[in-house]
Structure 1
Amino acid sequence: MQRILIMFWTFFKIGSFTFGGGYAMIPLIETEVVSKKKWLSKEDFLDIVVISQTFPGALAVNCSIFIGYRIGGLIGAIIGLLGVVLPSFFIILCISIFFMRFREYYYVNLIFKGISAAVPVLVLIAVVSLSKSLKKSYANLIVTLVSVASILFFKVSPVIVILLSALYGVIFLGKKVK
C-alpha cells in the first residue's frame, strides 16, 4: 500500500509541475520511475510509452495507467490515473474561476509566454531520451526518417504513421524475434 501511495504522490507531482502535455512529461516520468524509484527498466518504460501512444487519450494519462498497473494492479492503475489527472483538474478549476479576472494583466501574459517557450525543449528532451534506448540499426533509422518526412513534408497523420510502423514491425521484424 505504501508503494501505491508513493506512486500517487510521484504522479501528482509530475502532473502538478509539467506543462505542455504528455510528451513534456515523459522525461520526468522516466526519471522518477526508471532512474530514481527503479520500478521499471528503461526497456519496459519505452515499451509502455510506445503502447501508450497507440491508445486513444493523453499520453501521460495512458502511461500513468500502465505504470500503475505494473506496480499495483487495477488499484495501482486507478491511483496512477488519479495522481496525474487531479493536479490538472484542480489547476484548471482555479484558473477558470480567476483567469478572466486576471487575463489582461501584463505579467500573467508573460508567465504564459515563458511556459510555452519551455515546452518544445521538454518534448525534445523526451525524443532524445527515448531515442537512446532504441536499437541502432539501418532499419530503425530508415523507419525514423520516413516517419519524420511523412509527417513534416507530406502531412501524413501521425496515427497513420504509427499504424504503418506497427504493421512494418509485425511483418518484417517479427521474423527476427522467433
Structure 2
Amino acid sequence: MLLKFFMTCNKIGAFTLGGGYAMIPIMEREFVDKNQWMDRQEFMDIMVVAQTTPGIFAVDMASHIGYKLRGVWGGIVGAVGIALPSIIAIMIIAMFFHNIKDSPWVEKFFRGVRPAVVALIAAPCFKMAKTAGITWRTVWIPIACCLLIALANVSPIYLIIIAGVAGWLLGRYTTKKN
C-alpha cells in the first residue's frame, strides 16, 4: 500500500504544473475517486489543515493524507513522493536554464501555461464551495474574505482566526438552542 501511495504521489508531483493548489483536483481524483482512500469530506478537512500548516502546501497535503492512511511512515512516503519529481525537475532545469532562458519558445510556453494554471487553481474553489456547503445565501463570506485579502491587505491568518471563533460561537449557540 505504501508503494502504491508513493507512486500515486509521485505521479501527481510529476505531472502537475502550478504548485500545490493546481494539484488539488488531481489529488482529489486519485485519493477520493480512484483509490477511495478517503471521502470528500475527509479530503477537504485535510486540505483545511494543510492550508493552516506551515510549509509547502502539496507536501503538507501528501504528508497529512499519508499519515491518515498509514501513520508516520505514510506521512514520510507522501511527502517524499510528492516532492521528489519537483526536486529532480529543478535540478535538471538549473543545469540547463541559463542556455534556454532567453528562448522565444520558452517564453511562449510559459505564456501559454499561465492561464491553464489559473484554471487549475480556480476549479477546486468551486468544488470546495460545494463540499463546504456554500450556498447563494452564504457566498458573500468567501467573497468578502477574498476582497479583504486582495484589496485591504488583511492577513489570511486573521480571517482564519475570526472564522474559527465565529464557527465555535455559532456551534455553541445552536447547541444551546437545541
CA distance in 2, matches of 1:105, 1:70: 44
Q: CA deviation at 1:134?
A: 1.3
Q: Gaps (5+ residues) in structure 1?
A: none
Aligned residue among 17, 20, 45 for 1:19: 17
Corresponding residue for 1:7?
Answer: 5
Q: Relative to 1, partners in 2 of residues 1:123 and 1:62: Cα closer, same or farther, differing over 3 Å? A: same
CA distance in 1, matches of 2:156, 2:140: 16
Corresponding residue for 2:85?
Answer: 87
Sequence identity, in percent? 34
CA distance in 2, matches of 1:173, 1:141: 19
Q: Relative to 1, partners in 2 of residues 1:128 and 1:177: Cα closer, same or farther, differing over 3 Å? A: farther
Letter paired with 1:127 = C
Q: CA deviation at 1:129?
A: 1.3
State yes or no: 1:127 paired with 2:131.
Answer: no
TM-score under structure 2 length normalisation: 0.91
Corresponding residue for 2:70?
Answer: 72
CA distance in 2, matches of 1:174, 1:24: 36
- How many residue pairs get matched? 176
Corresponding residue for 2:158?
Answer: 160
CA distance in 2, matches of 1:97, 1:177: 60
Q: Gaps (5+ residues) in structure 2?
A: none
Tell me the C-alpha RMSD between the 2 structures: 1.8
Q: CA deviation at 1:140?
A: 4.3
TM-score under structure 1 length normalisation: 0.91
Aligned residue among 106, 109, 114 for 1:108: 106
Letter paired with 1:100 = H
